[in-house]
Amino acid sequence: MKRLACGTHLILDGFGVEAGVVTGKGRIDKFLDALAEFWPLGEGERYQFRLDDGSSSVQTGRHGYAMLHFFEKEGWLVADMFTAADADPTAAATIIERAFELSRFDLRLTRRSRLFPEGEEDLKKAVLGERHYAQARLTPLE
């Protein structure tokens, strides 16, 4: 596990996302590069997992992570981000809204601590668990 860190946790649930907006060539990398100015993560790695119902992308770093879950059929994008560095949540939310052309979004900010696994296989398990939680949170009750 990576070290425990205290910092800012942002979860943004975005709606009305077109498939091509997320999967367009280099869109995720451009977004993560732009985000770095307002949501510092430090040196790290990027991963992308293509799934049957969309994709999940992760940027890890010394100070935190940025996870993006895209649910293609529903047009949802969930940004789950944590940083122990100084961050500008308002600017980060604006970058997400513009980069993925959201029709609307819900935003939650908390101060907390977080552990995250090392290694791609363990990271994928954690990402899939977070994705499942995000999908359950957004699925309307019947």
| Model confidence pLDDT, tens digit, residues 87-103 | 899 999 999 999 899 99
Q: What is the dihedral of CA 116, 119, 122, 128, to 10 degrees?
A: 80
Statement: residue 17 has pLDDT above 80 = yes
Q: What is the dotted CATH code of the domain comprising 5-137?
A: 3.60.90.10
Q: Rounded to an integer, what distance in angstroms lies between the CA atom of residue 76 and that of residue 96?
A: 12
- Cβ pair 69, 140 in contact under 8 A: no
Statement: residue 33 has pLDDT above 90 = no
For residues 14 and 54, which has the higher predicted lDDT (pLDDT)?
Answer: 14
- The percent of residues in the chain predicted with pLDDT above 90, rounded, is 31
Residues with Cβ < 8 Å from 33, sequence gap 6 or more? none
- The kind and range of the H/E element at 95 are helix 89-99
Residues with Cβ < 8 Å from 6, sequence gap 6 or more? 84, 111, 112, 113
Statement: residue 5 has pLDDT above 80 = no
